[in-house]
Amino acid sequence: MNFDYTPDQRRWRDAAREFAEAEIFPVAARLDKEQKFPYEIVAKMCDLGFMGLTVPEEYGGTECDFVAYNLALEEISRADTSVGITMEAHVSLGCAPLLAYGTKEQKEHYLGEVIRGGEKLWAFGLTEENAGTDAGGTETTADLQNGEWLVNGEKKWITNSGTDITGGVTVIAKTGERENGKPELTAIIIEQDTPGFTRGPGYEKTGWRASDQRQLYFRDVRVPEKNTLGARGKGFRQFLSTLDAGRVAVGALSVGLAQACLDEALKRAKERRQFGRSISEFQAIQFKLADMAMEVELARNMVLKAAWLKDRGRPFGREASMAKVFASETAKRAADQAVQVWGGEGFMETSNVARYWRQVKINEIGEGTSEINRQIIARSLLSDEPATAAKQKMLAQ
């Protein structure tokens, strides 16, 4: 086994680390406090190629492998998870389905505008009040009438959907009923300025406060049939595949946050003195640091293994769920221990660890809750099937 990164992977990791330390970390606390979307940072990330890391060069992307993308995402998230989730949602949820299922015309038009132009973000609309984990509960409908989809419904918690630079959203909608009585789900591309498509205000959140999530409304929205992404009725399989890759990326985001917690705990342990010596000399503190370091390393390895499997075209659904659960829960434990090491100062909003502690919980919820991912892992083990197949059976029940 070779654990060395390729030159290209190291290049993207190092470039992301350098950018994050110089451009993101110094302003992360202010962006969080002001709840401002980081337009200037995103523009620079577009210019540097971070927002098109997995997109082929023919569509304006930088075409790195999935491992390199996750290494870069970890470094960006280490500086600020608000910027990290903006990057992750755009690349893994916005661009990836267009790249995987779009026609050549759709890829040239939408990815060309989003990536080559460097001026747009793209969103992915799955979650609703009664749908998300249970995609079969999707209530947004799309009826085909005279060569046009008539879309009605609502989505919620959709990242990158309401910024000044959002180009549009790929929506999962119910387009009929299958023979077994289950809903037929189809992915449909809806551009931002389409009549009848409106957006609610940004949410007031505990974490990810400098990123954009909001509710979407579709009232008799008409889009041409050619805006169907992939084949009609294949939306279920499409979003399953999309979420598998997205879970790996959220795992990388969580590793970045966990590493940031360890960074702050190490810094505080070396600087603070009690009983005439550095608190880093006390075994209780050393054990906390050791446990944090072990879990961060294990989480990173799990994320990169899942990414490596994907790069080689091998099944990775089970590993994606494992990486996402372990990394997100590692980040939660790391944030809790970082606050403990900082003591009373860690309870103050003036500290970075207080912000990390607020940010960490959503990682256990977004892109599949820890509970649904544990079910996916367990069913794949019990059925001795790849996780994706087991997941399809579970969600189709």
What is the model's pLDDT at position 191?
A: 96
Classify domain 7-119 by CATH number.
1.10.540.10
Amino acid found at 9: Q
Hey, is 47 helix, strand or coil? helix
CB contact set of 320 (below 8 Å; sequence gap of 6+) = 244, 245, 247, 248, 251, 306, 387
- What digits encode the pLDDT tens for the residues 130-140? 988 777 789 99
Q: What pLDDT, on the 0 to 100 scale, is given for residue 133?
A: 76
Q: Please, where in the chain does CATH 1.10.540.10 lie?
A: 7-119
Contacts of 322 (CB under 8 A, 6+ apart): 302, 306, 373, 377
Count the neighbouring beta carbons within 10 Å of the beta carbon of residue 277. Answer: 9
Domain with CATH 2.40.110.10 in the chain: 122-233
pLDDT, the chain, mean: 93
16's tokens = 């992301």
Residue 284 has pLDDT above 90, yes or no: yes
CATH superfamily of 236-396: Butyryl-CoA Dehydrogenase, subunit A, domain 3 (1.20.140.10)
Name residue, tokens 């990388």: 252
Which pLDDT score is estimated for 236? 86
Q: What is the pLDDT of residue 159?
A: 97
Asked if 127 contacts 362 with a C-beta cutoff of 8 angstroms, the reply is no
Residues 191 and 199: their CA atoms lie apart, in Å, by 12
Identified catalytic residue from 345, 367, 371, 385:
367
pLDDT value, residue 131: 87
Confidence of residue 116 (pLDDT cuts 50, 70, 90): low
Would you call 349 a catalytic residue per the annotation?
Answer: no
The bridge status of strand 148-159 relative to strand 141-145 is antiparallel
Report the pLDDT averaged over residues 259-284: 96
> d(Cα 397, Cα 390) in Å, to the nearest integer?
11
Lowest mean pLDDT among 104-113, 354-363, 379-388: 379-388
The better pLDDT of the pair 70, 120 is held by 70
Q: Which whole number is the average pLDDT over 91-116?
A: 90
pLDDT tens digits, one per residue of 203-257: 999 999 999 999 999 999 999 999 999 999 999 889 888 999 999 999 999 999 9
Q: How much of the chain exceeds pLDDT 90, in percent? A: 86
The identity of residue 65, as a single letter, is D
149 close to 143: Cβ distance less than 8 angstroms: yes
Q: Indicate the class that CATH gives domain 122-233.
A: mainly beta
pLDDT at 397 over 50: no
Tens of pLDDT, residues 380-393: 999 876 555 555 55
Q: Is 199 helix (H, G, I), strand (E, B) or coil?
A: strand
Q: Which residues contact 318 (CB under 8 A, 6 or more apart)?
A: 376, 377, 380, 381, 386, 387
The ranges of the chain annotated as CATH 1.20.140.10 are 236-396
Is the full-model pTM beyond 0.75?
yes
State the amino acid at position 141 in one-letter form.
T
